[in-house]
Amino acid sequence: MRIGKNLQKFLLVTIALFFAVSLLIRVTKFHNVLGFNRADIREKVVAITYDDGPYPPYTNQLLDVLDRYQVKATFFEIGRNIEKHPEIVPMIIARGNELGNHSYSHKDMMFKPREFLLSEIAKTDKLLLELGVKQDSISFRPPWGRRFVVLPYLLSQMHKKLIMWDVDSQDYEKTHSAEDIANRVIDNVRSGSIVVMHDGGGDRSKTVAATDMIVKTLQSKGYAFKTVSELLKN
């Protein structure tokens, strides 16, 4: 009988926990806690995002490819790299693309003091604003997408969107060819997808070549491209 009672207790606690967690997620809003992986829409629209720049000549080359197909993308850039290549930020803006904040020093933001997180966000926002970014609220993507309770909470307090992705191009894997990168994206996107690629952090010539293939193929399949803010407005 004792086992039966224990089992009953266990089940009751499990059910109570399940409802408590679902309620908590509903109250705090799902996206504020976990970030946006994609937009919940039916139209064939995707957002390509690039992390870790600005990093010449690859950021510049990506801008040329995007221009050639008349599509816009979103660049989540690192503060330290913006300081090294400030001239690239106005180029990204002038061509109608969006800029996002990818921290100042690209250090892991998990389990770090609140002050560190705030300064990583504020320093890069300041650089972007000084260089002409005019967005009401600059979105944020943490290094490697790593975040835990405090960071999402701070971002929601600052009315900043936490942007993740649902399609990882894996363009950082050295063994992947441009075709591998492109096919991974082409095969996995769906309506509302957010794709992550990289314009900085090393030789990105394969990312540049893959972008050309991705945009050309997806356009032929009827997809349109939007910046992250435009995508999430729907």
For Zn ion, give the closer residue by CB, 62 or 218: 62
Name which of 192 and 200 has its Cβ closer to Zn ion. Answer: 200
Tell me how far apart the alpha carbons of residues 184 and 171 are, in angstroms, rounded to a whole number.
10
For residue 232, what are its two tokens?
């999430």
> To the nearest whole angstrom, how small is the minimum distance from the Cβ of residue 101 to Zn ion?
11
Determine which one of 125, 198, 199, 212 is catalytic: 198
> 3-state DSSP call for residue 165?
coil
Q: CB nearer to Zn ion: give 51 or 212.
A: 51
Catalytic pick among 51, 52, 171, 212: 51
Which residues of the chain form contacts with Zn ion (CB under 5 A)?
Answer: 51-52, 143
> Shortest gap between Cβ of 51 and Zn ion (angstroms)?
4
Contacts for 62 with CB less than 8 Å, ≥ 6 apart: 50, 73, 199, 204, 207, 208, 211
In the bound complex, which residue of the shown chain has the CB atom lying closest to Zn ion?
Answer: 51
Residue 9: exposed, middle, or buried by beta-carbon count in 10 A (0-12, 13-18, 19+)? exposed
> Measured from the CB of residue 52, what is the shortest distance to Zn ion in angstroms?
4
What is the DSSP annotation of 43-82?
A: SSEEEEEEES---TTHHHHHHHHHHHTT---EEEE-HHHH
51 is catalytic: yes
Our CB check for Zn ion shows the closer of 79 and 143 to be 143
Q: Which residues are catalytic?
A: 51, 198
